[in-house]
Amino acid sequence: MEKLLEIKDLKVYFKLKGGLLCRGKTVYAVDNISFDVYKGEVLGIVGESGCGKSSLARSLVGLNDITGGRVLFLGKDNLASANSSRWHSLRKDIQFIFQDPVASLNPRMTVMEIIAEPLNVYYRHMSKEDVLTKVLDMMHLVGLSDNQINRYPQEFSGGQCQRIGIARALILDPHLIICDESVSALDVSIKAQIINLLKDLQKKLSLTIIFISHDLSVVKYICDRVLVMYLGNIMELATKELLYRMHYHPYTQALLSAVPVANPQLERNKKTKLLEGDLPSPINPPHGCVFSTRCPLVESRCKESRPMLKPMGDGSMVACFVVNP
């Protein structure tokens, strides 16, 4: 498979400026991670709140500065060193779908103006008729009707607003779509509709999607591969079939054991692996393996050095000293 993104030793750090106790300290949001994204796949990124999922996503569209490492886009553009002018042209090919569908839309703009705005920025030569045709085609694609084109975001439900956001992201025919918790703010039934829409669009348009979520049931349904993050580090990376069947890393096992089961009897008999303690602060991560303070399998070597991702022989990659192929 052809690589769309090649991420090597990526670091996203934030220097704290305010506050007497925190001034001069650093938040290690994403700490030296490496992985690839292939054309046409849906890569899921999961983990607890504060693990660095959104910081990673925002760095891939230039909303967060990249502190170190290399991010190659289509084998040539290094996003880590792109200036503002280069980012302007790159954003045409890398689009973002935000978590809050209502807050991500300008309440003073109509649906027509919102969806057409990217075309007006990047294709100023397009006639008004061509822009209107393109907008209407995109509205039909995401399940919106013609008579909604002159309405404002506050006249729509959350699910409809997310459809508008998806249409705006797709209007430029991007190579990569990044969905940052894009269904977490929606009701269950509406969430299912948007997930099915994204799945259909991915097949129809051959989209490459990075899908960030804390809902492992949703990730299992829509994604091809899954990357598990903890405190800015990758714990496990595998196809969804392998991850949900084997799940080698203790952290992955704990996450999956907490996923509800539809069968009440199985749910009652299920053994949930609860993690003790809270997520450590990204300002002062543990020495060695970042999961060592909560891991049930921890050994002395886990606190001395950080494990690197290693192949498990079946295609999975796991960062753990204790787990062996």
What are the residue boundaries of the structural domains of the chain, listed by start?
Answer: 3-93+174-249
pLDDT score of 21 = 65
Pick the CATH number of 3-93+174-249 from 3.40.50.300, 3.40.50.720, 3.40.50.1360, 3.30.70.20: 3.40.50.300
Residue 77 C-beta-side C-alpha neighbours within 13 Å: 19
pLDDT score of 263 = 57
pLDDT score of 33 = 96
Amino acid at 93: D
Strand pairing report for 94-97 and 176-180: parallel
- SS3 of 98-145: the string is CCCCCCCCCCCCCHHHHHHHHHHHHCCCCCHHHHHHHHHHHHHHCCCC
Q: List, for residues 180-238, the tens digit of each pLDDT value.
A: 999 888 888 899 999 999 999 999 999 999 999 988 889 999 999 999 999 999 999 99
pLDDT score of 164 = 97
Give backbone dihedrals phi and psi of 141, rounded to 5 degrees, phi first. Answer: -65, -35
CB atoms within 10 A of CB 222: 20
Strand pairing report for 68-73 and 77-78: antiparallel
Q: Which residues of the chain have pLDDT under 50?
A: none
pLDDT score of 265 = 60
Q: List, for residues 158-188, the tens digit of each pLDDT value.
A: 999 999 999 999 999 999 999 999 988 888 8
CB atoms within 10 A of CB 155: 11
Say if CB 180 and CB 212 are below 8 A apart.
yes
pLDDT score of 271 = 63
Predicted TM-score of the model (pTM): 0.92
